[in-house]
Amino acid sequence: MYNIAHIGVVVKDADKSLEFYTTVLGCTREESYQDERIRLEFIKAGQQTIELIQYKEDAVSDRGPGIIDHIAFLVNDLEAELAKLRQQQVRLLLDQPKISGNKKLMFFSGPDGERLEFIQKL
């Protein structure tokens, strides 16, 4: 059994959503990331983390605002977990694990095409 690392939700305007979640719902800002195609805001809601995802390009219009983008699970050994996924012929969504800050991650598909993610803290 895995622990949920976070749930990612696509938003139109990260600033507006961040204001809502922190002011209206009392969440706290935990971490931010931004590059040329995406902006991420991680907020804490009690013990759970929500990732607000603002895409900066139209190429991801199939993941519009208000939908859950993915569910992320914490793992201790990403390579071992990826070997299990490959053995089960699970579709990986990246060619290789990605390092982002102090985390190594991999996206993969569930049986109905839902996006899932394994995260290993480095």
* Fold annotation for 1-73: 2,3-Dihydroxybiphenyl 1,2-Dioxygenase; domain 1 (3.10.180)
Whole-structure pTM value: 0.72
Sequence ranges of the chain with CATH classification 3.30.720 = 75-122
Which spans in 21-97 are helix H? Answer: 78-87
pLDDT of residue 114: 83
Sequence ranges of the chain with CATH classification 3.10.180.10 = 1-73
Q: How confident is the model at residue 5 (pLDDT cuts 50, 70, 90)?
A: very high
Tell me the per-residue pLDDT of 21-33, one tens digit each, with 9 for 90 and over.
899 888 999 999 9
Distance CA 28, CA 45 (A): 7
Which CATH number is associated with domain 75-122? 3.30.720
Helix (H, G, I), strand (E, B) or coil at 14: helix
Question: Per the structure block, which two tokens stand in for 80?
Answer: 């071992």
- pLDDT score of 59 more than 80: no
- Strand order across the 115-121 sheet: 28-34, 38-45, 48-55, 3-10, 68-74, 115-121, 103-109, 98-100
What's the whole-number mean pLDDT along residues 65-72? Answer: 81
Question: Per the structure block, which two tokens stand in for 38?
Answer: 């995406």
pLDDT of residue 1: 80
pLDDT of residue 89: 92
Distance CA 38, CA 81 (A): 26
What's the whole-number mean pLDDT along residues 74-100? Answer: 95
pLDDT of residue 58: 64
